[in-house]
Structure 1
């Protein structure tokens, strides 16, 4: 039966229809908000998979027709998903995955199709709400609704679900998802802006010239968020989410399908096998933990499972590999958590708040503009920075945009298998790589001084070794790689991954978690920022949710770690030696706007010659007279600038031509020979044309038959119109 529900909350109106389309799916909805229309479906296979994990697939798909467009390029249909689609799919997945009951192993696919789009739509928030509604209204055994809320900040005030314009004009972009009881996922970025201050100039009377009475000063500023401000913003989001999720469940409950009776598999290991492992294999478990403190691979645990399967008792009792693996995993997990909770130490011997040893090397690659090898414990990132010109910007097209946009700061993250000791295929970046690169970009971009930066910047992070938070190593290494490439930065940025182990009322917050603690802990919480505050944050909560007081403690502990890391980074930054030889150079200067045409030349000939001769790129602003020259070396850029200035000076001389007396003999020097005559330099440095018909009374094939460049001859001015001067010979040539 078709049903329609309308909601008006959190600064927007949403209409949800169910039972009308895609009725073969377990659940489907059409969500409308303004001109935006989304179709969300949820489908479940009846048969669970053999491997015990939740096979959830989420795909957010944008269709060009939604904005009245035809896809660009050779193939006129949508192909692989863009970065925004991938990141939105990840956001939905991370928000919905905690809703499924433990032991649920049936494959589930959630698809969100964008059918129509309005220019001001927050597509991520609406897509999450649509996916949650489709899942809740289906017969898949999920009985909670998720809501997503975006928080902006403008003029010091938090705004719930701001418009896209309000968001970009503000200083904060915070996205939070959760149920009516708990927060599940948080993403945050500071939005870097330029503060504008207006100061009166005392020397100018505003009644005479009000424009000159004010001096506009642009002051670049990093809009970090202090820990207490972030807690306040999350609190605002939590209240909005609680209201929305509760309202959704209240209204949807009557239309929701009866839940299917799906078998839930026992996730706890066999107690008797667990006891046996503790009794006879505890030493091996402890040795394995020592190895896992140095690698994410976990091959030590696999070795214990294989050894135990060969045990006489295992063969007699006919224990399966799955049973043994579950028992060893549970003992390992209990040991990791008890060490932290009861002994206050971790598998690698650190205290809960301790950061692993850090080493930093900069500009180790001689042909690279900027590079940094950042090592923290067993996590290592080689981050490189490359500077380019405007044509190097990454073009992309947002479905809400009217024209193409250009990404001027790019962060690309690569995670090859050898970083964790695995022989895996190396292919195009997956969702994880795109997500980690995006997190690092959000952390670093607010610190770029865009009033001084006049280049396209690309950072590439090659993860060479991984055991915990390679994305935060990318942030630290990326900030120093920018510094090593002499990119104007307002502040350095450091990142750290935080964890949590919680049993009942007892908990321990962990700083700089490794892979083992990420796997067996209760929270993955990445914080990046400057000494003053947070520029980016990402949190996934594996528990049902955590309180704001615990979150505040985690943020405070993260700040202490961040300041420690920044101290080491500042020492490394002070020791940077810039690669002057390979670093591209840019010079900007002004000439009179009317001289731009002389630099371009006829049909662009002059500008092409400059670009080819000096190996530079030249950008010209015809209105302002601005000339920007960019090239691979400072020497070539300087030579190109000098050449352009000389052309401009020559153009000025042409404009200031002296008036010559007609038919008065004067000396001239042949400057250039052409098919139709000779250009002769006259007194004052101006040129006149001696036509071939004036050179000889008889026929000659070319002026070079009688003249050569540099020859002095006697000439007469026969005609002058500005700088156009026609000449004749004062006496016949010898």
Structure 2
């Protein structure tokens, strides 16, 4: 059976009961020339643990874009970053729909079978997955609707095409059910219409590969964010109602599920409340994270040894489960009724912050950002265009080039666990992507470097991703990158109890675990560059959202004041920063720089110990290296080379060098030299003022560093080229 639904600026064609009929639910969705298959499967036996065992997999097939996978293995392998992040978005949007106490292993799979370059794969995939879940025998009350909102020429655009999104200054992705919002992802981006100096990343989730214009970061103020979300919520209401009307007659009857109760043994809960309430409160309110967990375990052991527990045959494991629920009740009641948090802070108070910059002497830039018991060491590395990240996309014919990367690592020791180190999972990729979206607009378009930020989480008790944003902003400044403004991030929490609610600033792990919302907001003083919201149960109204945004603004300003002080005290590691020159030549002369079969550019690289990147269309030349003398020499050589063209320019440059007075060396002369630069094929040794010789890697006995003194022997001299051996 086929349904065509025209809603939210696109026509969606759903095929029901056509494919994958043995799954609990399945739909085939087509939008333009994009076709996705979404399936839902579940097990009949619940897990014993107290959690929702939901797995979401979004998979892209290369044939969907008429491509064959690259590399030696000609088939799809592990999911790429875009696939992983899209899986996470679908999971976060659908997880709140499941009934409370549902514990049956459930898998949602979305496969892209055909990809239209203009269709937003994330919006289509979420709506397909939601329809499949709603049609299954799992008791879901209403289907989710996902939409994307852009802003083009100061107008909101609903579900823009990928081409339109390139012109947008906003990328807002919102999912919800009817009038309730469940998930929000937002990033402020620079208009790409007049920006031709960078390569566009078409996949929306991949944070901007381009840097914004010097005039503005294009951040949105809180009122603009609320207005955009309101625009999205109206579209969600239309979409959710349209889906329910179309699919309700075909929804399978709900299976007979056994749902776990909030408190599995009310007798234990009553016993704890009556005899151990004060001890539980002391453990919550008077202890640090690790001490709190140990004390709660000790209480569980103590209760298990009580006569009542022995007579009732309560196991320690059962007592611990109920104790966790009672602890949650106490935490929430204190916040709602007393306005008091476990660590004694006011609801809008940020934990103590300390900042140290450039503590790593050989890194380009570093920042140790500590907030309460959360600590992030963020390190910046500057590179050239050749260091940019390349990735494939179904909606792009050419490779995506990212000149700004953010890697987030979360080792087990950061939370006191002896867990093995492994490849980053969905959480790590998601947090890194959020930090990248927050910081990308602050980097000036004229920045010539490829930038990699790495956040090593050394300690975690809530909001390590926002600590990574703050540390990342200062690590960029510590590396000498002239960002437009400092960017800070803060994590907000929300607790609902009946008709009461409380908004929490800078939540710690306990409040994240026991609260109802995780809401991360990042940006400079003037507004928001990135936002992420997840609701655990139910939805959130625009009024509460506006309250949370305003409280987040105040918290962000407090953090920015402290960051500003740290920024004023930064001492940049000038000695370790790469040297770079960016200039333009006549585009027609680029071929002279390259030379026949690349001979000329190879000679430049070897002779001066530099890297050279060329832009054929604009005639831009970018020279980088560790030694200022080599960079300046290469620049002068290229200017001479292109001023009169090809060999004549090079000859004129060499003639000038040869006319300069130089020491005369003979083969066999022993000289005390200084290492000027180290390259892949050896090291350049200064043997006299303005004269360098090459010590090939095959002649080097132990590692050399710039500035080392070495005694060398002249092995060969051809014109200006001198080959050396170690003495």
Structure 1-normalised TM-score?
A: 0.83
| Separation (CA, whole Å) in 1 of partners of 2:23 and 2:528 | 42
Q: What is aligned with 1:665? A: none
Shift of 1:239: 1.0
Q: What is aligned with 1:187? A: 185
| Separation (CA, whole Å) in 1 of partners of 2:539 and 2:587 | 62
| Separation (CA, whole Å) in 2 of partners of 1:191 and 1:142 | 36
| Separation (CA, whole Å) in 2 of partners of 1:583 and 1:709 | 32
Q: What is aligned with 1:440? A: 435
Q: What is aligned with 2:327? A: 332
Which of 494, 497, 501 aligns to 1:500? It is 494
Give the alignment of 1:160-559 within 5 angstroms. Answer: 160-193=158-191, 219-290=214-285, 293-295=288-290, 298-450=293-445, 452-559=446-553
Q: Does the residue aligned with 1:40 lie in a helix, a strand or coil?
A: strand
The answer on 1:637 being equivalent to 2:631 is: yes
List runs of 5+ in structure 1 lacking aligned partners: 198-216, 659-671, 673-707, 711-734
Q: What is aligned with 2:118? A: 120
Q: What is aligned with 2:697? A: none
Shift of 1:296: 9.9
Q: What is aligned with 1:703? A: none
Shift of 1:343: 2.2
Shift of 1:650: 8.7
The answer on 1:612 being equivalent to 2:606 is: yes
Give the alignment of 1:2-17 within 5 angstroms. Answer: 3-17=1-15
Give the alignment of 1:576-587 within 5 angstroms. Answer: 576-587=570-581
Q: Does the residue aligned with 1:183 lie in a helix, a strand or coil?
A: strand
| Separation (CA, whole Å) in 1 of partners of 2:136 and 2:621 | 62
Q: Does the residue aligned with 1:142 lie in a helix, a strand or coil?
A: coil
| Separation (CA, whole Å) in 1 of partners of 2:348 and 2:272 | 31
Q: Contact (CA 8 Å) 1:611, 1:618: kept in 2 or not? A: yes
Q: 1:166 to 1:597 in 2, by over 3 A?
A: closer
Larger radius of gyration: 1
Q: Contact (CA 8 Å) 1:583, 1:633: kept in 2 or not? A: no
Q: Contact (CA 8 Å) 1:194, 1:218: kept in 2 or not? A: no
Q: What is aligned with 2:69? A: 71
Shift of 1:546: 1.8
Q: 1:235 to 1:296 in 2, by over 3 A?
A: farther
| Separation (CA, whole Å) in 2 of partners of 1:559 and 1:279 | 41
| Separation (CA, whole Å) in 1 of partners of 2:649 and 2:631 | 27
Give the alignment of 1:124-135 within 5 angstroms. Answer: 124-135=122-133
| Separation (CA, whole Å) in 1 of partners of 2:166 and 2:529 | 15
Q: 1:570 to 1:194 in 2, by over 3 A?
A: farther
Aligned residues between the structures: 640
Q: What is aligned with 1:146? A: 144
Shift of 1:549: 1.0
Q: Contact (CA 8 Å) 2:593, 2:638: kept in 1 or not? A: yes
- 1:362-397 Cα deviation digits (max 9, x unpaired): 111111111110000110000001111111111101
Q: Does the residue aligned with 1:260 lie in a helix, a strand or coil?
A: coil
Shift of 1:643: 4.1
Q: What is aligned with 2:694? A: none
| Separation (CA, whole Å) in 2 of partners of 1:656 and 1:390 | 25
| Separation (CA, whole Å) in 1 of partners of 2:63 and 2:630 | 48
Q: 1:69 to 1:196 in 2, by over 3 A?
A: closer
Q: What is aligned with 1:158? A: 156
Q: 1:592 to 1:545 in 2, by over 3 A?
A: closer
Q: Contact (CA 8 Å) 1:296, 1:468: kept in 2 or not? A: no
| Separation (CA, whole Å) in 1 of partners of 2:533 and 2:51 | 21
| Separation (CA, whole Å) in 2 of partners of 1:27 and 1:656 | 70
Q: What is aligned with 1:691? A: none
| Separation (CA, whole Å) in 1 of partners of 2:647 and 2:92 | 68
Q: What is aligned with 1:567? A: 561
| Separation (CA, whole Å) in 2 of partners of 1:114 and 1:652 | 50
Shift of 1:194: 6.8
Shift of 1:308: 2.2
Shift of 1:342: 2.3
Q: Contact (CA 8 Å) 2:120, 2:162: kept in 1 or not? A: yes
Structure 2-normalised TM-score?
A: 0.84
Shift of 1:254: 1.1
Q: Contact (CA 8 Å) 1:292, 1:516: kept in 2 or not? A: no
| Separation (CA, whole Å) in 2 of partners of 1:85 and 1:42 | 18
Shift of 1:227: 0.6
Shift of 1:164: 1.1
- 1:569-607 Cα deviation digits (max 9, x unpaired): 111111111111110121123456676566545554443
Q: Contact (CA 8 Å) 2:166, 2:191: kept in 1 or not? A: no
Shift of 1:127: 0.4
Q: Contact (CA 8 Å) 2:283, 2:292: kept in 1 or not? A: no
Q: Does the residue aligned with 1:186 lie in a helix, a strand or coil?
A: strand
List runs of 5+ in structure 2 lacking aligned partners: 196-211, 653-663, 665-717, 721-727
Q: Does the residue aligned with 2:575 lie in a helix, a strand or coil?
A: coil
